[in-house]
Amino acid sequence: AIIRRKDYTPFPWRVPEVRLAFDLGIESTRVEATLSVEPNPQAGAASAIRLDGDGLVLESVAVDGEPRDDWQRDGEALVVPLSSGPHTLTIVTRIAPAENTQLMGLYASGGMLCTQCEAEGFRRITFFPDRPDVLSVYTVRMEADAQAFPVLLSNGNPVEEGQLEGGRHFAEWHDPWPKPSYLFALVAGDLVARRDSFTTMGGREVELGVWVREADLSRTEHAMESIKRSMKWDEETYGREYDLDRFNIVAVGDFNMGAMENKGLNIFNTKYVLADEETATDADFDAIEGVIGHEYFHNWSGNRITCRDWFQLSLKEGFTVLRDQTFSEDLHGAAVKRIGDVRMLRSVQFPEDSGPFAHPIRPDSYKEISNFYTATIYNKGAEVIRMMRSMAGLEAFRKGSDLYFERHDGEAATCEDFVKAMEDGAGLDLTQFRRWYEQAGTPQVTVEQHHEGDRVTLTLAQVVPATPGQPDKLPVPIPLKIALFDREAGTHSGEQLIVLTQESQDFTFDGHAKPPVLSINRNFTAPVAIERDIAREDLVFLAAHDDDAFARHEAMQELLLGYLLGDGDEAAREAIGTAAGAILADDALDHEMRAELLGLPTFAYLAERSEVFDPGAMVDKREGLKTWLGETFAGRFAQLHDSLAEPSRAAGMAGKQARRMRSVALAYLAAADPADGAKRGLAQYRDAPGMTDRQGALAVLAGLDGPERDEALADFYSRFADNALVIDKWFTLQASALREDVLGQIEQLARHQAFTMSNPNRVRALYAAAAGNPLAFHAADGTGYRMIADLILELNLRNPQLAARFVPSLGRFRRIEPKRAAMMRAELERIAGAGKLSRDVAEQVEASLG
């Protein structure tokens, strides 16, 4: 069935209070739910209540204490006749956590029990109006074996705990804040906590806990520090204070996504909690801090103000991604973070926006909401709010967010509510801007520049491309920060923000005796693709001189794209060499930024920018460019690799910057001279002070041949055999290697004793890497496509969410050269014809086939 945004109606009943009593066991759990219900004055009258369910065994129903058997089942739902007026509903169900391989609802992971309810997992725990606009105050009582489950956690604050007969015990928690069912959580297990506390700006003393298995306790310090930094930042930046006496996070080894913002009890994939220098890279540390921030920030943007329905998902996710991005920018410098975020947007979201599953940040319809936890909803959603922020300025934006939080606190709100609060609070007119919520597709902007006398005219034109179901598009407001550089002086007369609102528009600037060099979409103010007519020398100039770090990086990327997507002429390559030389010689650059500027475009983005992509040819060309750069600057790269060995051992920012550049230098050296690369790589591997250098070396070695590779891979495995997250890296590094025999190696890794289909991290470690590796996935004989299709079919019913995530890689066939495209399509058709498909996989496959 298709669910449509325009069909929204409020639920006929309110459920002000919920009491849940769990009798917990891995094999079987009994759930007694007591719901106080009353007619919803905002909705029409109803003579029954319809409760969602999924895979539940119903034991009993009572209304106002009287057993009832006049209920009906409507598919998986339970319909109980109710006279108007308030009632108490008591429903007993039984569930089997050990058999829950979907990891939605209550499930078992490594001997513990935990929950994931967003979006529609609560209905797998008990019958309930499982929709985000039904808000209830929850009281949760958990009873379990005291030895197997010594720790019992739920939302809110603890109320009571005690021993029971037969080695059992119980705990009761109460969450005073009304919340929708998707924010419910419980955890039961043999866990230990790192504890700390935080005093809020209003003087509330909050007890903090990071709960993990005992063996992981030593790797929780960074997570705890990240919680405290998040709490402080949200007070300072948005005036948002925490609102309970407890804040707990729990790390779980089997988890479909990154983490979940359950009220007062955030549940995390271990990947986004556990870290120390020995086992986690600098990037891992940053990702942990970012995700902990993200989930914490949801306490206001998501929990205190939640979503009316799932079409509004970007209301909480887009805003919260923006909040976590700027949190990281504020803490560690904006430039490198922004470049990384844009790289991700272009590699993942742009292809989504130009592919068969393109959808607006506020979709109009869906079949399975899990399929809409996308880069579009999250990352483009964040970009859309970032545009409002750029247009308003920080101060006015804060007024808008203050008004939003004040006006809608305690409500289930809509994207429209947010936009309206921004209009009223920040003083923006967002009438036309609302189209960003309605239209899918990445706007394409062309720029022409004319110079006459001392006047410069920029002619900007925009096209929002047609997407499935949306053939005709209207122009959107596109805010662009620009600067006009005087080439000789190397300076500009100030940055300005222009907003392109029409299909085509002229902008004039006086006082330029000579044609200036245009720096545009500085800091990536708008999530658009820009096509501009610019001389190569001007790009070289910007790559060497632009004072906006993002724009400088962008100029370098344009040079690289020009060469890689063009016919590869000598002059284009020379221009890259000139710019790279300037970057390598620029002493004012920090090493992290230097490394960033020297990064080649990702394959995903190259594919996105090609009309018809030939993966094999692109690998040769991109690798060839790497080799040429490595040869051209061999001396400088060798000098960097040697001289940064000591600085790489330092703590803090300087060490991180050195490590980043050092591994990039190693990669270029290895491309130019594999034998030297293998020697240097093994030395870097052996002497590595931590995981950043070790992984950097191993990533390079994995692409080479010889004893150095074998030694490092074997050492890595045995050294970290008992650490699942590091073994994930071991799988990923090998599956990502750009080597001819990689597909055979992936097949071997799939048979390795450490591989398992039941752990999502392990599946992604091997197969997401395989699907992203052009030499594996796009193997000319189609075996890579078959492998991914087989994977989708194997996971289809076992874990539909995980399975569906692999469909879009096959769905991109329209942009691939015809021989491969036909094989990709054939695999999609094979899946479509394979019998019972989960809703998740079916929706993705149908969209892909178009």
Footprint on this chain of ligand ARG (rule: CB under 6 A) = 118-119, 257, 259-261, 294-295, 317, 370, 373, 801
User: Which CB sits closer to ligand ARG, 324 or 693?
Assistant: 324
650 CA to centre of own chain: 30
Q: Which is nearer to ligand ARG, 371 or 773 (CB)?
A: 371
Q: Which residue is nearest to ligand ARG (CB)?
A: 373
Interacting stretch for Zn ion, rule CB under 5 A, among 56-64, 269-277, 318-326, 714-722? 318-326
The first and second tokens of residue 611, run together, are 């009309």
**Structure tokens belonging to residue 592:** 């992290």
**Residue 208, φ and ψ in degrees, nearest 5:** -105, 145
Q: Nearest distance from residue 296's CB to Zn ion, in Å? A: 11
**Residue 119 interacts with, from ligand ARG, Zn ion, none (CB under 5-8 Å by kind):** ligand ARG
Q: Write down the least CB distance from residue 389 to ligand ARG, Å.
A: 20
Give the shortest CB-317-to-Zn ion separation in angstroms: 5
Q: Which residue has the tokens 């960074």?
A: 222
Per-residue x/- mask for Zn ion, residues 161 to 200, rule CB under 5 A? ----------------------------------------
Long-range Cβ contacts of 644-647 (<8 Å, 24+ apart): 644/591, 645/684, 645/687
* Smallest distance, ligand ARG to C-beta of residue 474, A: 30
By beta-carbon proximity to ligand ARG, the closer residue of 261 and 289 is: 261
State the nearest-atom distance from the C-beta of 348 to Zn ion, in Å: 16
840 touches which of ligand ARG, Zn ion, none (CB within 5 to 8 A by kind)?
none
The entry of ligand ARG, Zn ion, none near residue 557 (CB within 5 to 8 angstroms by kind) is none
729 HSE (CA, 13 A, CB side): 24
Nearer to ligand ARG, 373 or 777 (CB): 373
Per the CB < 8 A criterion, the answer to whether 256 and 267 are in contact is: no
| Residues contacting residue 260 through CB under 8 Å, at least 6 positions apart | 116, 117, 118, 185, 266, 267, 268, 295
Least separation in angstroms between residue 579's CB and ligand ARG is: 38
Q: How far apart, in Å, are the Cα atoms of 472 and each of 183, 384, 441, 461, 466? A: 38, 20, 11, 16, 6
Residue 773 or 801: which CB sits closer to ligand ARG? 801
Q: How far apart are CA 25 and CA 10, in angstroms?
A: 36
Closest CA relative to residue 544, chosen from 580, 516, 577: 580
The entry of Zn ion, ligand ARG, none that residue 52 binds, CB within 5 to 8 Å by partner kind: none
User: Is 295 an annotated catalytic residue?
Assistant: yes
168 versus 229: smaller Cβ distance to ligand ARG: 229
CB of 760 to Zn ion, least distance (A): 17
Tell the smallest beta-carbon distance from residue 370 to ligand ARG (Å). 5
- Whether omega before 670 lies within 30 degrees of 0, making that bond cis, reads no
Of 294 and 343, the one with the shorter C-beta distance to ligand ARG is 294
Residue 105, phi-psi category: left (phi > 0), alpha (psi -120 to 50), beta (remainder) = left
Q: How far apart are CA 508 and CA 482, in angstroms?
A: 12
96 near 25, Cβ under 8 Å? no
- Of the pair 349, 370, the CB lying nearest ligand ARG is at 370
Q: Which is nearer to ligand ARG, 805 or 820 (CB)?
A: 805
Contacts of 827 (CB under 8 A, 6+ apart): 782, 785, 786, 788, 789, 810
**Which pairing describes strands 136-145 and 29-39: parallel, antiparallel, or unpaired?**
unpaired
User: DSSP letter at 491?
Assistant: E
Query: Do the beta carbons of residue 110 and residue 254 sit within 8 Å?
Result: yes
Strands 105-109 and 168-179: unpaired
Name the one range near Zn ion by CB under 5 A: 30-38, 316-324, 404-412, 713-721: 316-324
* 285 binding partner (options ligand ARG, Zn ion, none; Cβ < 5 to 8 Å by kind): none
Q: 10 Å Cβ neighbour count for 523?
A: 18
- Tokens describing residue 242: 């925490």
309 contacts which partner out of Zn ion, ligand ARG, none, CB within 5 to 8 A by kind? none
* DSSP code string of 648-662: GG--HHHHHHHHHHH
**Residue 260 binds which of ligand ARG, Zn ion, none (CB < 5-8 A, kind-dependent):** ligand ARG
- For Zn ion, give the closer residue by CB, 31 or 375: 375
Alpha helix segments (H runs only) across 298-393: 313-332, 334-344, 350-353, 375, 381-392
Specify the DSSP element, H or E, that contains 151. strand 151-154
Residue 370 near which of Zn ion, ligand ARG, none (CB within 5-8 Å, type-dependent): ligand ARG
Active-site residue, from 295, 554, 608, 843? 295
For residue 700, give the 3-state DSSP assignment: helix
Rounded to 5 degrees, what are φ and ψ at 460?
-110, 135
Q: DSSP H helical segments within 453-546, as ranges?
A: 536-545
Q: How far is the CB of 95 from ligand ARG (least distance, A)?
A: 18
Q: How far is the CB of 152 from ligand ARG (least distance, A)?
A: 23
Distance CA 62, CA 313 (A): 34
Nearest of 819, 748, 735 to residue 777 by alpha carbon: 735
- Contact residues toward Zn ion (CB under 5 A) are 317, 320
Catalytic residue positions, numbered: 295
